[in-house]
Amino acid sequence: MKRFNPLLIIIALLGSLLFSCGDKPQITDIQLKKDRLPLYIGASETLSANLLPLNASAKMVWTTSNSKVAAIEVENDKGTITKCVVTAKSVGTATITVSTKDGKHSAVCEVTVIDINVDVDFIIMQGGTFTMGCTDGDCHSSGNEEPAHEVTLSSFKIAKYPVTQLQWEAIMGNNPSYFEDESNPVERVSLYDVQKFIQKLNEVTGKQYRLPTESEWEYAARGGIKSKGYKFSGSDNYDEV
């Protein structure tokens, strides 16, 4: 009976191990950090992507479906991790795609570009005098609505609609809302968050936006000079409003 040489067995196992370590891991997917990106005209943001598994390697290519809306500039295309700067050029939508050179794997990010100067819709509230505070006897227990008193305001502009999640995210780069929908009002924001938003909005637009005062807000909610004395904004039936 022939005897096995233990040394030969060890060498054979070691050779098999070295061979398997030399194999490149098979790519399973491309991970893109964001799948949607709201931007305002002129804004830029960097998207980064990496291969899965992380130790795989391959050439990755970036493309944009509409360079007139969202232009791209690749920062790093050496494989494994790649970055691309997206710059908003005009109002519209574009799809940014990163894919392996062989086209077998890809990931996309939907870009929405808004013009923040146009997309904030304002109306003029004609100045006038109104009774501010509780006027129907159904006052809040805190007493903050009393005593009712007359307030006279000059004309002012106020946004027709609340700030949307799309507008907020385009300026701030995040969406803190619980009920996520880009056309819904942004919520779950503090007064500090709002002040930071207004500060950045003013920097971007060169304008001087601010929060309405308490009296301005109540005057607008009551309907201004066209007020019909409703308890709620627009009707006495809260099911209608």
Domain ranges of the chain: 29-114, 119-226
Average model confidence (pLDDT) for the chain? 86
- The residue that leads in pLDDT, 93 or 139, is 93
The residue-averaged pLDDT of 183-210 equals 95
Q: Flag the least confident range among 54-58, 63-67, 96-100.
A: 54-58
Cβ atoms < 10 Å from Cβ of 145: 15
What band does 116 get if pLDDT is binned at 50, 70 and 90? confident
Closest CA to 215 of 138, 135, 154: 154
pLDDT(93) > 70: yes
Task: Supply 10's token pair.
Answer: 């060890």
Say yes or no to pLDDT of 18 above 70: no
Average pLDDT score over residue span 50-64: 89
Task: Name the pairing type of β-strands 92-100 and 106-114.
Answer: antiparallel
Q: How far apart are CA 34 and CA 97, in angstroms?
A: 11
**Sheet order of strands, 81-88 included:** 29-32, 44-52, 81-88, 70-76
Between 140 and 94, where is the model more confident? 94
At 82, phi and psi to the nearest 5? -135, 145
Helices (H), the chain: 6-22, 116-119, 165-172, 191-205, 214-221
Q: In CATH, what number does 29-114 get? A: 2.60.40.1080
Strands (E), 1-146: 29-32, 36-40, 44-52, 60-64, 70-76, 81-88, 92-100, 106-114, 122-125, 128-132
> Which CATH number describes the domain made up of 119-226?
3.90.1580.10
Amino acid in position 2: K
Q: Choose among 83, 92, 135, 129: nearest CA to 110.
A: 92
Tokens 């570009």 correspond to: 113
